[in-house]
Amino acid sequence: MIAIPGLKHTDSNNFFLMAGPCAIEGEEMALEIAEKIKVITDKLQIPWIFKGSYRKANRSRIDSFTGIGDEKALKILKKVNEQFGVPTVTDIHEAAEAAMAAEYVDVLQIPAFLCRQTDLLVAAARTGKVVNVKKGQFLSGEAMKFAVDKIVESGNDKVILTDRGNTFGYSDLVVDFRNIMDMKAHQVPVVMDVTHSLQQPNQASGVTGGKPALIETIAKAAIAVGADGIFIETHPQPSIAKSDGANMLPLDQLEGLLEKLLKIRKAVTA
């Protein structure tokens, strides 16, 4: 596992977790979620990175929630880091955002639709931060070699790759677990983005749908085939979340799911 500042490696055989809300909706909400996840991950000894988008740039409709303001949301991410001693990750969308976000978070995340944007990858790499690149819904795991190469050749070998399914038909995604093994061949940690892989984008209403009942199924399969990490968006009340509520895990279900995943991890690494 690459070195991520603040990430506690309590068990070298364990998977790590990226978890938090889809978007930073406010300080109180972010701190509430962080506090509860910290209690769970400390108890289960799972290394954890808090996830929260400071701005949502990829929205179906112009009136969709995009954020509370860049600086305000980034300061909340920094407060989570300082108050709970946990590293944080957020998305960036343009090259100019890399240096700004790097002042507040430990990991810069490249959205799946932008994983081929050379200027964005290079800008993220040059901050010296860990760069988590989500595999495009239109790419194979093998093709992600070029994203890794762009970052490494820019002087940064701290790369994570994350799968989030492949486009299947017009409004659905499918997970091909071969991609996890193909991306591990690039000699970087590989994460399964469980909740985003269950999205049903571009619905007629203009609001993304999802299949949250399958979160446990996708997570179990990912651990079974060797994913190094699990990415899960979670919220105390997904039905009222301002972004991606249709495919988020209710926060009160997180501990039970992680306990099941630990058992699978133990079995496959025995």
The superfamily (CATH) of domain 16-269 is Aldolase class I (3.20.20.70)
pLDDT at 69: 87
| Residue 52 contacts residue 90 (beta carbons within 8 Å) | yes
Instruction: Locate the domains of the chain by residue range.
Output: 16-269
Which ranges of the chain have pLDDT less than 50?
59, 62-63, 204, 206-207
Burial of 19 (0-12, 13-18, 19+ CB in 10 A): buried
- The gap from C-alpha 72 to its chain's centroid, in whole angstroms, comes to 21
Please, which residues have CB within 8 angstroms of residue 263's CB and are 6 or more apart in sequence?
none
Size of the chain, expressed as the number of residues it contains = 270
In this prediction, residue 55 carries a pLDDT of 86
pLDDT of residue 226: 95
